[in-house]
Amino acid sequence: MTSGPGVGIVVVSHSRALARAALALASEMLHGRRVRIEIAAGLDETTFGTDAVQVKHAIEKVDGPDGVVVLMDLGSAVLSAELALDLLEDPAIRERVILSSAPIVEGLVVAAVAASGGASRSEVATEARNALLGKAAHLSVPDQDAAEVASTPVGDEVVGVFAVANRHGLHARPAARLVGEVSGLDAAVTLTNLTTGTGPVPAASLSRVATLGAQEGHRVEVRASGPQAQEAVEHVLALAARSFDETTETPVLPELAPTAGPVAASPGIAIGPVRRLDVAPVEVDDREVGDPAGEWRRLVEAVAEVRRDIEHLRALTVREVGEAEAAIFDAHLSLLADAEMLADVKERIGAGLGAFTAWTASMADIERQWSELPDSYLRERAADVRAVGDQVRRVLAGAAAQQTGGEGVLVARDLTPAQTAGLDTSSVRGIVLAAGSALSHAAILARSRDIPLVVSAGRDVLTVPEGTPIVIDGSTGEIHVDPQPAVVDDYRRRAADLAERRTRELALAGEPATTLDGTRILVAANLGSLADARAARAGGADEAGLVRTEFLFLGRSEAPGVEEQEQEYVAIGEALGGRRVTLRSLDVGGDKPLPYLPVVREDNPFLGLRGLRLALARPALLHDQLVAVCRAARRTPTSLMFPMVSTAAELRAARAALDAAAGPSGVPGDLRVGMMVEVPAAALKIESFLPLLDFVSIGTNDLTQYALAAERGNPAVAGLADALDPAVLQLIDRVCQASRGRVDVAVCGEVAADTAAVALLVGLGVRELSVGPHAVPRVKERVRALDLEQCQVVAKQALSLESADEVREFAHAALGC
């Protein structure tokens, strides 16, 4: 905590950019005089919102003997500031804080000047509140429109009516959108369902808005009072006209689209009972209750922790899955900021209940109200209340966030990458997803963790009762529900054979992968962390064929500095025992946004500003990374490759940026430079790139989805997105033919770990296969069984086949894979 003479000031705003701009403006008025000012603004660099824990830390940082004045912009900023006071453990600090109703920009300027002159906290607060007097005096002769507004009594209400156009009415997602719209305005807004007569309820309370039971076609009255009443009603009506920014043609939680599944996604056999990813009930004895202030503090801290977890999960889901899937978390966040709900919990605690019991009782009431709504779809949204309620309960109880019902095969509709990464591999033997894709990030994580996975299994798999025996083969996509004993015995033998083969592969993992005729094939590893590098070395990887450097940039509020990047790159090289490390320059944008690198929203981000395109548009960010790469290359064997290259001009610009970053000493001589071939155009005109390159690496995941117009995360077209489609193989062949004798060709997409594909890729001319760390021993063993001449013949014939299925059947018959 920082303390000292003079009043400290805290700025609480929904927007971090707004708070920083206001602070910069106020600083200009101080002429070098020092005032302790902290901002607690936004949930991150671009996400609007306020966080009580942030406010608490800011107050503690600027507190001193003269106290603190807190300025807030609007809506939940006031709630967050009030909660922050409850979180302060030292009552002396709480007594020294004044929450000011002053306007945030004018108020901050005046408050900062007053504080710099030695004013007391009450004088600073008063000056801030009076900040608008000068503007009001200057505008004492209003124009006609202003006079009409001013003459309207403050107590008058503005009223509007809208019809609900959303297919499932004002369920959690559109209701959260509405709540978020009115919470940021200085107005008291209520809603009444004119069709059913339900209401009025406060529009700023998600828990109460849901009880309206507003279904499609219902007419809802909006009634507002206060300084921004007109704006509030207009905002709500405009939002309703846009169906609360929800697509009305499809349900919010749509039925699963027809799939081409089941689809094999991660090799291996799993046998066991069906398990669900459920949260077990939590019961806590709340008889030993502390004082109300302490219990309320416990509750507020638990809510703040869950809110941070949900915000993190939302950001991960946006990045790895998509904005539409992540939007449900907005409703969860709105519930956690619901002033009426929190007031009810606080009242129960004040009546003598413990935090856990008070929270549980309040959530039960809200869930009951939602479950009694007449519309069946809206009734199901009570699950949102239960999910949020249980998260807070588990934090209060110190219980685990999620768990399966025991050891077995996890069956779910779909998994987010965060959920997949958090699975306990000691109990989850395998996974079956009703939706999903073999090229999704969740599937990539499952493969990296060596968990057998079948995706796109269809909706029927979700009806299989918990505990039912199930067998899955992640190599073939086969699923057997409640199988006969003979089937189980057969798969147990297959699993034993796989385990024996795995032991044999691991024993030879450190040896080179050489075909029967003596051709060396490098088997490298795709890495996303230092832990991956250690696993790759243990698995016998020859080098790192792909390091996803964006893992350094994601999940933080600002970009890593040059020194941090350099240290991480060198550490990965050291973890690999000095083997060569191939760093992919930052590959974000569009579908993988960075909070501190805002880009314009794109209708089709896969075809938008991403990869090298985005890096060239943000030269400072690219420069820092290339400086770090050059430094690392002087300390450990390093290669660099640029992603999403479409034109030779882009590659020349990237090479020029590299030269500039290298400085007077020039690009390190051992630094090899390459590019990823992910765009069909790049494969077709590969000759124009070769003079600028030392190697090329084919990213088959993106190349496949672009060539076949099949998004890799869409279960409806999961069967089309197969890298063994002859069209994709022809593009790979094009690159290999043009590069032969000039530069090395690698494949770093998921197909490199496909046993059927390995022989075909080697036959086409690929001489490096980069796979997940766990797949390295298996791929090396596969290479050792190949005859290069036979692979070349089979690969050539595969180019003229009709489909990926035909290619697989042909390769299996010709090469036994």
Give the residue numbers annotated as catalytic, written as ranges. Answer: 441, 748
First to last CA, the chain: 65
Who's near 286: CB < 8 A, 6+ residues apart? 353, 354, 355, 356, 357
Let me know: does 68 contact 98? Beta carbons within 8 Å. Answer: yes
CA distance 283 to 139: 61
CA distance 540 to 545: 13
Three-state SS for 417? helix
Q: Which two tokens stand for residue 459?
A: 């909706």
Residue 514, burial from CB neighbour count under 10 angstroms (0-12, 13-18, 19+): middle
Q: Give backbone dihedrals phi and psi of 189, rounded to 5 degrees, phi first.
A: -120, 135
Let me know: does 584 contact 623? Beta carbons within 8 Å. Answer: no
User: Taking the CA of residue 91 as centre, how many other CA atoms within 13 Å lie in the half-sphere pointing to its CB?
Assistant: 2
Taking CB atoms within 8 Å and a gap of at least 24, the contacts of 531-536 are 532/448, 532/773, 533/571, 533/572, 533/575, 533/576, 534/575, 535/773, 535/774, 536/576, 536/773, 536/776
Who's near 683: CB < 8 A, 6+ residues apart? 677, 698, 703, 731, 732, 734, 735
Crossing angle for the helix pair 355-371 and 292-320, to the nearest 10 degrees: 50
The count of other CB atoms within 10 Å of the CB of residue 31 is 8
Who's near 709: CB < 8 A, 6+ residues apart? none
CA distance 705 to 727: 11
Q: Which residue has the tokens 């832990």?
A: 531
Let me know: does 474 contact 452? Beta carbons within 8 Å. Answer: yes
- Beta strand pairing call for 263-266 and 269-275: unpaired
Q: In what order do the strands lie in the sheet with 8-13?
A: 37-41, 8-13, 68-72, 97-100
CA distance 800 to 817: 19
Let me know: does 336 contact 387? Beta carbons within 8 Å. Answer: no
Strand (E) positions, 203-267?
Answer: 219-225, 263-266
- Amino acid identity of residue 264, one-letter, is A
CA distance 387 to 381: 10
Q: Which two tokens stand for residue 658?
A: 């590299």
- Amino acid identity of residue 790, one-letter, is Q
The count of other CB atoms within 10 Å of the CB of residue 230 is 16
Let me know: does 787 contact 516? Beta carbons within 8 Å. Answer: yes
Three-state SS for 728? helix
Who's near 500: CB < 8 A, 6+ residues apart? none
Of 298, 292, 293, 267, residue with least CA distance to 351: 292
Q: How many helices (H) and strands (E) does the chain have?
A: 33, 25
CA distance 590 to 608: 6
- Amino acid identity of residue 328, one-letter, is I
CA distance 328 to 758: 41
CA distance 318 to 325: 7
CA distance 75 to 338: 11
Residue 278, burial from CB neighbour count under 10 angstroms (0-12, 13-18, 19+): exposed
